[in-house]
Amino acid sequence: MRTARLKHALVAASLLLGGLSASTLPAAADSAGTTAKAAPAASEGIVTAMQRDLGLTRQQAEARIAAEKSAAALAPRLTRAAGSSYAGSWFDAASGRLTVALTPDASDAVRHTVKAAGAEVRTATYSARRLDAAKARIDRLPAPSGVSGWHVDPVANTVVVDVLRDHQADNDVRGFLSQARRTGPVTVRTVSAAPRTFAAGTVGGDPYYTGNVRCSIGFSVYGGFVTAGHCGRAGAGVSGWDGSYIGTFQGSSFPDNDYAWVSVGNGWWTVPVVLGWGTVPDQLVRGSAVAPVGSSVCRSGSTSHWHCGTVLALDETVNYSQGAVHQLTKTSVCAEPGDSGGSFITGDQAQGVTSGGWGNCTSGGETWFQPVNEILNRYGLTLHTY
């Protein structure tokens, strides 16, 4: 194992100095960036994982990556153009296009702008501003353990509140839902399991440890890497896969948020890749453009390695047993204990770090991540890109 990791570190160093591709075995860190750059064809690793996890052919996977990249670039511009009539947007995998919802009072000029840009238009009753305001009011309510989370669903044009199936009749759940419905348009959905964080006790051969907890490196920043906040508190020391000292948690927030950053030194350095763990080739990261709802997304973690799925919701509040965490992105990707803090990526664009979820990579499940751009803004960090 030591030989394999040293080999990867040497190849990674060559990548930084000479522009080579990354190798296929894990190193001490991985990475992301802030703005998109010109990129070659889709990574072999991304394509392979999407074929496996999303049931796509190679041609379909490559076409979807290109379409999602276009949609991600288009979404912010059309959001601004729609103004107060904006009611949400998402990537439609069937059409390969961005869909933008507009309220009935949207002007003909706005509708023309959206269509002319290549997006589909759908009419929705409630504006995104109204739905976001309703969710913000729900965020201020004390949530019982029988409520697992809530988010704005742009496709359904409502705020969705998830309630554990076995707790529907609880008085505190009913009271919470009564208050939630008074905030605006709310739909209640029953779920079978509550999300949990994915930290794990110490086991060998993984990216980093703090105390007796194992987590996964997220994305490299200049001076260190970002990861999940529940993995360690500010000031906690961090050791690498070989037990050697990496650095220290410089900032950490959990609950409320689930993000942190760790300084890197003592012979360790940052590398602008997401690890493929030998399952797929390592993936270079060239930016951090936000993937719309409906986009594909893949995750790298030290336990279950590489898996893909789709973005299900943005800005969801998740009610963990330790407290509510806000502004998480929900995905259909599986994860397992020890994957916490690991990388979520769409194409070559960094998305966020693994927070928690339910299920596993044998039977399936859902996983949430903290968006990487939020972490960068919070700590004034710059993502390491290739």
Q: What pLDDT does residue 241 have?
A: 81
- CA 130 – CA 136 distance, rounded (Å): 10
What is the reported pLDDT for 200?
56
Q: Which pLDDT value is given to residue 267?
A: 84
Is 157's pLDDT higher than 80?
yes
Average pLDDT over residues 185-208: 77
230 as an active site residue: the answer is: yes
pLDDT band at 42 (very low <50, low <70, confident <90, very high): low
pLDDT in tens, 73-128: 999 999 999 999 999 999 999 999 999 999 999 999 999 999 999 999 999 999 99
Is the confidence at residue 136, as pLDDT, over 70? yes
Question: Mind listing the pLDDT tens digit for each residue in 281-331?
Answer: 788 889 999 999 999 999 999 999 999 999 999 999 999 999 999 999 999
**pLDDT value of residue 43:** 73
pLDDT of res. 206: 64
Average pLDDT over residues 196-221: 77
Given the residues 8, 151, 230, 384, select the one marked as catalytic: 230
pLDDT confidence of residue 242:
81
Note if 166 is an active site residue: no
Quick one: average pLDDT of 349-369? Answer: 96
First to last CA, the chain: 26
- Given a cut of 80, is residue 212 above it in pLDDT? yes
Share of the chain above pLDDT 70, in %: 87
Query: DSSP letters of 119-159?
Result: -EEEE-SS-HHHHHHHHHHHHTSPPPTTEEEEEEETTTTEE
* Side chain identity, residue 215: C
Q: Residue 9: is its pLDDT beyond 60?
A: no
Please give the biggest Cα pair distance in the chain.
Answer: 64
Determine what percent of the chain is predicted with pLDDT higher than 90.
76
Would the pLDDT of 15 be above 50? no
By C-alpha distance, which of 345, 343, 318, 342 is closest to 330?
A: 318
Choose, from 30, 53, 92, 258, the residue flagged as catalytic: 258
Lowest mean pLDDT among 139-148, 193-202, 337-346, 364-373: 193-202
Ranges of each domain in the chain? 1-71+144-386
Does 280 score more than 90 pLDDT?
no
Cα dihedral value 241, 270, 286, 316, nearest 10: 60
- How much is the average pLDDT of 18-35? 30
pLDDT for position 338: 94
- In the predicted model, is pLDDT for residue 3 greater than 80? no
Q: Which has the closest alpha carbon to 283: 270, 269, 271, 267?
A: 271
Name the nearest CA neighbour of 177 among 147, 132, 135, 145.
147
| Between 12 and 184, residue with greater pLDDT | 184
pLDDT tens string 235-275:
999 998 888 899 999 999 999 999 999 999 888 888 888 88
User: Is domain 1-71+144-386 classified as CATH 2.40.10.120?
Assistant: yes
72: three-class secondary structure by DSSP? helix
State how far the alpha carbon of 153 is from the alpha carbons of 53, 61, 162, 286, 299, in Å.
23, 25, 12, 29, 22
Q: For 313-347, b where at least 16 C-beta lie within 10 A, e where not — what string?
A: bbbbbbbbeeebbbbbbbbbbbbbbbbbbbbbbbb
What average pLDDT is seen over the chain? 87
Can you tell me which residue has the tokens 């507009």?
102
Q: Quick one: CA torsion of 43, 49, 53, 59, rounded to 10 degrees? A: 50
Reduced to 3 states (helix: H, G, I; strand: E, B; else coil), residue 342 is coil
Q: Is 258 part of the annotated catalytic residue set?
A: yes
Cβ–Cβ < 8 Å for 219, 350: yes
